[in-house]
Each structure stands twice: as C-alpha cells, then as structure tokens.
C-alpha cells in the first residue's frame, strides 16, 4: 500500500467497477490501483456496500422447485483450501495476467528504447505494460476515447503533471501527450485504452501491425 498516491481514480470509474460495467482492460487498471491505494480501496468497498444494500432490498424472484436440493447435491464437505498470498514486484492483478512476475514479461520494442507487452483482455478495450527507460520519452501518440495510465514503478511527467508509483492519469482523446520518464529510474506503467493507441513517429507506426496495438 502506498500513502503517497496523489492522482486517484474518479468516482465514476469506481462506481462502474463496483457495478461490473467496465471493460476488462479498465477493470484491470482499477483493480491494480486498488491494490496500491488505501483511499480508493475504502471507496470501492463502500460502493460494494451499496450493491449489497440494493440486493438486500429486492423482492426475491421465486427459485424453481427443487433448486435447494439441486444445489445441496453440488456441495462438498472438503475443508476450504488455505489461501496463498504471494508477494511480488508487480501487484497481484497484473501478475495474474502475465502468469508470473516482472521477469516473466515478454517485452516487445516499440521504438526509442520503449518496450511494451500487450495483456490479453476482451476486445472492448486494450491493456498493456509499458517500459520507458529512465529519462526517455514515450513515443508521441494519441488515442480515441479514454486512456488510463497507472505507474507501477518509477515516475513520468507530461504536460499536465508528474506521476509516481500508484498514480493514475486519466486522459481523453483530446490529449496528445508525450510522457517522459524520470531520470532516476526506468518507468513501468500499466495502461488501458478504449481505442487503438496511435503512435506519431514513423518507426512505431510501421511496426504497429506486427506488435498488435
């Protein structure tokens, strides 16, 4: 957990996450931020509480005859398996998508030393890890629709502000930005975009069909 987070998720995003209405890629960014931020975690839990209150207040719909017996037949008496909590460099939600920790990420270069790894989510939006070497700039790009960029390690700066570990930048299609990593450390981000990410310089654009973005 990180108490130094300065850029949080919006209430709208947290509500949509609680309601289960976010595309998978955005839900991944939200879940990862919640793993790093107590403040948003508390808000998310109270939003779940609203969901619980709504379900409690519903008039039930009658279950089919024999439903209880059918469910009872599926219960087993085995004691519940203990939960393993593995710690890692990357937050658990991201590790679940990589199938391992930072050393298992299959990076692909996108130019200027920047690397990315696209994570497999449903197509409604796309998620990727970005690796920006210390002091380097993310190739200039724009996007259709919303983009969430969450810093996992290091920090970056763009026209709007500076973003450190746990910080999330919410950008829309108006934004045409060039994040630059701090000189101190390489920057690793988790980013989700609604539309395709479009790089402006010719090298990444040529490479786009091959790297699946």
Partner 1 sequence: MVAGTEKTTDAPWVAEMRRIRDDRDRAAFAALFGHFAPRVKAFLVKSGAEPSVAEDCAQDVMVTVWRKAHLFDPSRASVATWVFTIARNRRIDLLRRDRRPEPEDLTWGPSHEPDQSEVVEMNQETERLGAAIASLPEKQRVLIEKAFYGDLSHREIADITGLPLGTIKSRIRLALDRLRHAMR
Chain contacts with partner 1 (rule: CB under 8 A)? 11-13, 15-16, 18-24, 26-28, 30-32, 34-35, 41, 44-46, 48-64, 67-68, 70-72, 74-75, 77, 79-80, 82-83, 85, 91-93, 96-97, 121-122, 124, 145-146, 170, 172
Count residues binding Zn ion (CB under 5 A): 5
Over the range 67-104, which residues count as b (16 or more CB within 10 Å of their CB) and which as e? eeeeeeeeeeeeeeeeeeeeeeebbebbbebbeeebee
Distance CA 91, CA 143 (A): 26
Pick what 208 binds: partner 1, Zn ion, none; C-beta below 5 to 8 Å, kind-dependent.
none
Pick what 203 binds: Zn ion, partner 1, none; C-beta below 5 to 8 Å, kind-dependent.
none
Region of residue 135 (left: phi > 0; alpha: psi -120 to 50; beta: else) = left
Considering the complex, state which of residue 57 and residue 99 has its C-beta at the smaller distance from partner 1: 57
Min separation Cβ 38 and partner 1, Å: 11
Determine the angle formed by the axes of helices 11-19 and 38-57, rounding to 10 degrees: 50
Work out the burial of residue 212: count CB atoms within 10 Å of its CB; fewer than 13 is exposed, 13-18 middle, 19 or more buried. exposed
Residues within window 21-40 making contact with Zn ion, judged by CB under 5 A: 37, 39-40
Q: How far is CA 78 from the centre of its chain?
A: 35
Considering the complex, state which of residue 30 and residue 132 has its C-beta at the smaller distance from partner 1: 30
Residues within window 95-154 making contact with Zn ion, judged by CB under 5 A: 147
Residue entry with tokens 């960014």: 29
Does 41 engage in binding with Zn ion (CB under 5 A)?
A: no
Considering the complex, state which of residue 40 and residue 110 has its C-beta at the smaller distance from partner 1: 40
Pick what 8 binds: partner 1, Zn ion, none; C-beta below 5 to 8 Å, kind-dependent.
Zn ion
Give the chain's radius of gyration (CA, Å). 20
Min separation Cβ 147 and Zn ion, Å: 5
Min separation Cβ 134 and Zn ion, Å: 20
Distance CA 53, CA 60 (A): 14
Footprint on this chain of Zn ion (rule: CB under 5 A):
8, 37, 39-40, 147
């Amino acid at each position: 957990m990180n108490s130094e987070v300065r850029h949080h998720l919006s209430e709208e995003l947290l509500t949509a996450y609680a309601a289960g209405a976010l595309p998978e890629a955005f839900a991944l960014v939200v879940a990862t931020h919640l793993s790093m931020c107590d403040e948003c975690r508390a808000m998310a839990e109270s939003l779940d509480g609203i969901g619980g209150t709504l379900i409690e207040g519903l008039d039930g719909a009658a279950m089919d005859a024999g439903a209880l017996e059918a469910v009872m037949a599926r219960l087993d008496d085995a004691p519940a398996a203990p939960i393993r909590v593995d710690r890692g460099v990357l937050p658990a939600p991201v590790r679940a998508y990589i199938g391992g920790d930072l050393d298992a990420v299959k990076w692909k270069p996108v130019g200027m030393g920047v690397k990315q790894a696209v994570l497999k989510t449903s197509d409604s939006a796309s998620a990727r890890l970005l690796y920006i070497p210390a002091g380097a700039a993310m190739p200039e790009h724009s996007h259709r629709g919303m983009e969430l960029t969450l810093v996992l390690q290091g920090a970056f700066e763009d026209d709007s502000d500076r973003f450190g570990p746990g910080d999330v930048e919410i950008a829309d299609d108006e934004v045409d930005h060039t994040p630059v990593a701090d000189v101190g450390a390489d920057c690793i981000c988790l980013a989700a975009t609604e539309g395709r990410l479009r790089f402006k310089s010719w090298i990444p654009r040529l490479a786009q069909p091959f790297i699946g973005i």
